[in-house]
A and B are shown apart, each in its own frame.
Chain A
């Protein structure tokens, strides 16, 4: 099933043609309408006409989050405010948010891209979609909402929280699709299993989860506890909001909506583009957005692109689900390590909410990695052998997932410092 088959199944040649035409038009628009970009082009001695092939994108300047902050609030807009019909903001925890704007046409395209994503996941207009993404400045709630309406499904605009009511309506309305963050879906599942829910009345089939990185192990937990198919949806407000990419039912990476975005993976250190199959930082260029277009936006999300054909029939390239952020990437003995990889190992060991800390230090000339893991009731045994065996199995699993050896240190619960309820994941003691 497709929503816009002509775009979703184009040949690579066609898609590249569409991308080049749209990129050339975008560059012209940015040069003429956004002083920030004109300045950047001039610094690089570039003119819009210099973009002759898709590969020329590598000459174009990057856009960073800092650039968006510096132009707060509307400095990056490429249309007059009279054409802007919606404003959203990124969820910056510190300082001012990054503001993004949409024209009517932007909203129409966004709605279609979400509808495309939902159809990829198996949603039809007969479904009841309970949308538990937060409504507000955050793009998740309204983005999914209008996308589900575009598709023609019935949307229940629940927003986040109020779990008891979520569960009640889920039973009474016969909700078939749940959209929210994976952690909230897991929390709801725990509450539902704790009692008071008539499982005969739960009709859920599909979960579309996103807005935060999650692991395949977490997918397994979600699919089992709700008895659903769970797919990952990706997006960020600076580029669009949800709907930049989404998994199909084969769950082999997220199809990127390439007729509207060019995805690149670059080496976060050098900025050089990397070939398909190599892990690096995701960079997106929005091709069709009118109010708030971005050129080569550095997401800081780490992923890999795959161009081989998907069984679903879509020719859109796929990105591996985001496994980490460049912000928390550690380079240990030359290997890129992400805390999320450690988390996925601990999830495999049955921890639903693992607390851990990566402590990196220098021992002589060698980098030394210690992973502190808070012992839970589930892990604990009265036998020394039991705990030593656990350490050994964790060490072996970490070695195979991270590719480097680490010392596992079991620590008491709550001994890893937390700030605002969130645990700190890295202490890097190496001299800079």
Chain B
């Protein structure tokens, strides 16, 4: 790997809050200033600024990068915002790495901000348009669906016990109890509390999920030469990796995050890590849901497939365990201001590897850690390996220098009442309306549905029949070869029993979204199950399409009313 070595030399964060009184800019500034203060730099020492923030729809500010640039320190400097959904926070460290490794800049300030509380009535609504506008959105999807569908598939494939998965939520909320910036730290929470919490979209329950939050995190990175000038304890970025899976999420087996493994292998190769389980001493995998931490630990090659849950159960992942995982408290405990939460993981490794994590410090002298985040349409993996070249330097007295981060946990929480009655608050409804072209492949697919047919496209080189159809194969990048009518039947690849609507309003009876693998194809799509009791649904169940009457069909995914258990023919 060419270029200079790059180190993290400073970090800071705000409190993570359900609602912050500060604007997004003010949050960004609080975190950025804390990070600069931590390494005794000023804005004048910064050569370039890298910003990240998740969808503009959260803050309700179009071009959020430009909006936040002053708070991030971007005035008059080379500045750019990157964005890969939930993977953004860790990606910003990757961006910071190549910004400095290129040799163009000596010191870069990395800032991640999220203000989710602006979205009304619920931030879930901002996720509505990440689904396919024509094939998925008419079904009324809630973001929770994709997590519930993936979690159910994961549990089913390995016969996992929900108690083992819930133990991750318990661990992280307990870890966060020692974090001055945490929103949901709780020292006395138990697995039974998690299992007794409200069912949102089975198997996802309220306490399986990280909380909506406002907050910001900032990190300072520097070239080797600059780093050694700034601090005697730089923490090196040893490896970076990132990878994206297909956007056709209903065509993937959701059991295992291959894109995380791909990103991890890239980062490990660069870092010279050959035995991750032995060479990684502390991990900060992405944990927006408890099962995701386990899923990601497997993708990071730290546990065999399906084996992370028992490690959680047996305490291996505890702060004092053999492989501490999310000692920060993670998203489940500290909070989940999305992009900021990812960069918090980089900050936590920095503090852990300097022996500065205070009440959260893992025992021993960890020398290397891995941080990972995940996002887009559950398809991106971002991975960073950090190390301290053999342990934090000791002071003259032979003891590590201990400072309890965050240096400042700035930020003023705003109560619900304070938010509702805030002076000068402005309510605005985005009036944007769209007309989405179905395009060539989906247009023909919709015509097929109106005629009572399910159509796919064949890729002869990859020997796949693509459903939903596309005019090109995203694997071999060739034009697909022709249309094929596939069956009206399929199997339930995974399903959820969902009790909330897209904007988190209660649903009674619940809905049963499912990914249906369509017979005669290598794909499938999202649809609803019906004519079946929720208790009677099983993964692998044979189902068949129930069509709307011909006169009611409109050339829509809803021309299939639902899928029901297949009847003997």
Do A and B come from the same complex? no
